[in-house]
Amino acid sequence: MKRLNRFITIIVLIFLYVPMIVLAVASFNTGSDIAIWEGFTLHQYAELFRDANLLRLLLNSLIISVLASLIATMLGTMASLGIFSMRSRMRRLVMTVTDIPMTNPEIVTGVSLALLFAFAGTFLKIKSILGFFTLLIAHVTFNLPYVILSVMPKLAQMDGDLRDAAMDLGCTPRQAFFKVLIHEIMPGIISGALMSFTMSLDDFVISYFVSGSGFITLPVEIYSYTKKPLQPKIYALFTLLFIVILLVMVAMNLLQMKDAKKRVQARRAFRGRTGRAGV
């Protein structure tokens, strides 16, 4: 059974990563045909960094991703604290409502937001409302559930008496909040921020419906490139984006592993002190 599970895991990994490996290899190919290897070159990367239009679009995507992840992280953390303070029944209800956007098809979310912005534009008498701010609002909206999903488990794992103990030792409520509570849930906050960044960076479907001609992100522009043969420098761009997202996900997993190890060590130390006190 273990061999079968390993075999299935290998097959899944092959289907997941072989296309990206092929793309990465093509980005170093001298020729333009992805199926024929003609020689190694870095020319495609040089062409990419000489393309001012692609670099501008990449900067647009980075600006939206950074701002959306920061805003979503702040709002999501505050929302998580409010949800956690609710009664269990109300908390389950709110979490169910919060999880719906993650299971909702992106095209439905994109069309819904586009209709909402169009209504707002008509109400406010703004002809071209779609642009930077509508794109930012949309990205913050679909990132919020992921932040809440990352922060809530850390709140549940936290010892509820830590904040009260800090206040008993002289901390003000504000000091206890920033020095104890935020410190305890920081791994969840960072994980939510990193996940929000990756979700925003490569989002296409929702961005396609809520972006205007004045501000376009890289994934939306690349969609127009697919209607004709792709230039080899696009392979280089895809490879760099894949590496960036991979590094972010690795950092997030390392952070979670470090937090889990820290909690295990804390439990062992606590048990050790308890055992000695009992003796």
pLDDT digits (tens, 9 = 90+) for 35-69: 778 888 888 888 888 888 888 988 999 999 999 99
State residue 30 phi and psi, 5-degree precision.
-65, -40
Lowest mean pLDDT across 43-47, 132-136, 170-174, 203-207: 170-174
From 236, 211, 230, select the one nearest 61 (Cα to Cα): 211
194 or 166, higher pLDDT: 194
> What is the average pLDDT across 222-241?
80
For residue range 84-111, list pLDDT tens digits in order.
888 888 988 888 888 888 888 889 999 9
- What kind of fold does domain 55-262 have according to CATH? MetI-like fold (1.10.3720)
Task: Please list the alpha-helical segments (H only) found in 51-105.
Answer: 52-84, 88-103
If DSSP codes are grouped into helix, strand and coil, which group holds residue 212?
Answer: strand
pLDDT band for position 275 (cuts 50, 70, 90): low
From 200, 36, 207, select the one nearest 107 (Cα to Cα): 207
Residues pairing with 212 in the sheet? 215
For residue range 178-201, list pLDDT tens digits in order.
778 888 888 889 889 988 998 998
Q: Report the C-alpha gap between 150 and 249 in whole angstroms.
A: 14
Residue type, 111: V
Residue the block writes with tokens 């909206």: 141
Position 273 scores a pLDDT of: 53
Residue type, 190: I
Q: Report the C-alpha gap between 122 and 117 in whole angstroms.
A: 9
Q: How far apart are the first and last CA of the chain?
A: 46
Using the predicted structure, report yes or no on whether residue 136 has a pLDDT greater than 70.
Answer: yes
